[in-house]
A and B are shown apart, each in its own frame.
Chain A
Amino acid sequence: MITIVDYEAGNLTSVKRALDFLGFENRITPDVDLVSRAERVIFPGVGRARTAMNILRKRGLGEALLDAFSRGTPVMGICLGAQVALSRSEEDDTPCLGIIPGYCPRFALDNPDLKIPHMGWNQVRVEKEHYILKDVNPGDEFYFVHSYYPQPEDESQVYATAGYETVFPAAIGRENLFATQFHPEKSGPVGLNLLKNFAEWRP
């Protein structure tokens, strides 16, 4: 059973639908106990870091996520879920969960032809082997929508990168946590494969 954390941060049903399509049992819940004792956790989300962190704190879900992580539960963050796993976000200067030391800067694009948000399909390059990324081939594209990106202090926690003027981390991880800045649930067959690998991952 995969537990999808409901913290009012955007459309969680698209992750649910992708898991349903793949045939993995799952539930969406805001329940603290269900999250901390979950077998597997997906932590999606779009929106502002500050709003997300306020809700996570108020409901005790931040603690529940840390608890699940420290128990060795496989946890996957997606998009905003990847960003709040770091220590801090530049967005409204928000302190975050701190599972991975690092912060989330905003794209500082000098080139006026490059748009913010970074929205659309971009190639993801695997920098370091990981079970969840095992089916990603060179040149595979994934769907991104974001203005900030996760930058771990320790480069060895960067598993994949993408380029948008600068090269930025597209997938990060530490022990039983893995997180993507892109949306696997909206990235067609290559994205679905990644969700399948997470569902079968034994860290």
Chain B
Amino acid sequence: MLTKRVISCLDVRDGKLAKSIKFVDTKDIGDPVERARKYYQEGLDELVFYDITASSDRRDIMIDVVSEVASQVFIPFSVGGGLRTVEDCSRVLLAGAEKVNVNSAAVKNPGLISEASRAFGAQAVVLSMDVLRVGPGPEIPSGYEIVINGGRTPMGIDAVAWARRGEDLGAGELVVNSIDADGTREGYEITLTRMIADAVRIPVIASGGGGTPGHMFEVLTEGRADAALIASMLHYGEYTIAEIKSYLSNRGLPIRKAGMPVT
């Protein structure tokens, strides 16, 4: 049986973990490669690296990080942030990432999804969408709107319609990130996640609001997500991967075993 995936997201700036990530154990603070390796050894299913480097001339550092991770971490991982062209995508894939994560650039230029999908296959293209709850209206029948620039710019696009369009254009997977829930740690946006999971036939990763394994269980069952993205609950050391996985599996979800002995 296909398992539900536990995915963690690491924000990287200038090749270092972003300051917003506060770790309990200080040994490897700042080093995304060390952190990725630790999570890999503890049994994480997948990783997402989000490059938040401000200046584009420093993006080569990210390529080095990707390549280092790929040499030591043998689970799938995707890279997002600042990918605007097929060439940008090609660079991170050649450096060893399994998938690219496109977001704002795809909203502004949907052709990016189809071009990347043709070039690398749908399985390599993850469409990440930032979504704000606005209430149903003529342009936004679902009540959820696509926003870009970290939630600051509303685009007048319905989130469910955009998810379907992304699937049609060739995305292999969707990350549904609720701007309302993000950072609250009070649980994922279940209604939104479920609406989108019901509307498409590609896997859906729920993001934003995860604070406890119970929240993850909720979005993986009621929310019909295929995977749950977590950040601070793991980075702050509140839960280990083993604890999260044993909770989910004790509640009856198919989950990949944690903490395999590493070769």
Contacts and interface: CB of A to CB of B under 8 A. Distances in A.
A48 B118 CA distance: 10
Contact of A193 (B3, B93, B120, B263): B263
B121 A47 contact: yes
Interface residues of A, number: 42
B2 A14 contact: no
A143 B75 contact: yes
Given A14-B98, A122-B3, A189-B262, A145 B202 contact: no
A117 B3 contact: no
Contact of A121 (B2, B74, B173): B2
B71 A120 contact: no
Given A120-B2, A120-B226, A14 B96 contact: yes
Nearest to B73: A188
B224 interface: yes
Contacts of B3: 120-123, 141
Interface in A108-155: 112-123, 139-141, 143-145
Contacts of B217: none
Contacts, number: 102
If over half of B's interface residues share one DSSP class (helix, strand or loop), that class is named, otherwise mixed; here it is loop
Interface in B123-165: 123-124
Chain A interface secondary structure, helix, strand, loop or mixed?
Answer: mixed
Given A145-B123, A190-B260, A115 B203 contact: yes
Most central of B2, B5, B120, B124 by chain A CB within 10 Å? B2
B91 interface: no
Contacts of B203: 115, 117, 119-120
A43 B71 CA distance: 20
B227 interface: yes
Interface in B70-117: 70-72, 74-76, 93-94, 96, 98
A17 B71 contact: yes
Nearest to B97: A11
A119 B122 CA distance: 11
B11 interface: no
A21 B123 contact: no
Interface in A178-197: 185-193, 196
Contacts of A143: 75-76
Nearest to A12: B94
Interface of A: 10-11, 13-14, 17-18, 20-22, 46-48, 112-123, 139-141, 143-145, 163-164, 185-193, 196
State the 8 A-B residue pairs at the shortest beta-carbon distance, nearest first. Answer: A121-B256, A141-B256, A145-B123, A121-B3, A189-B260, A192-B263, A122-B2, A47-B121
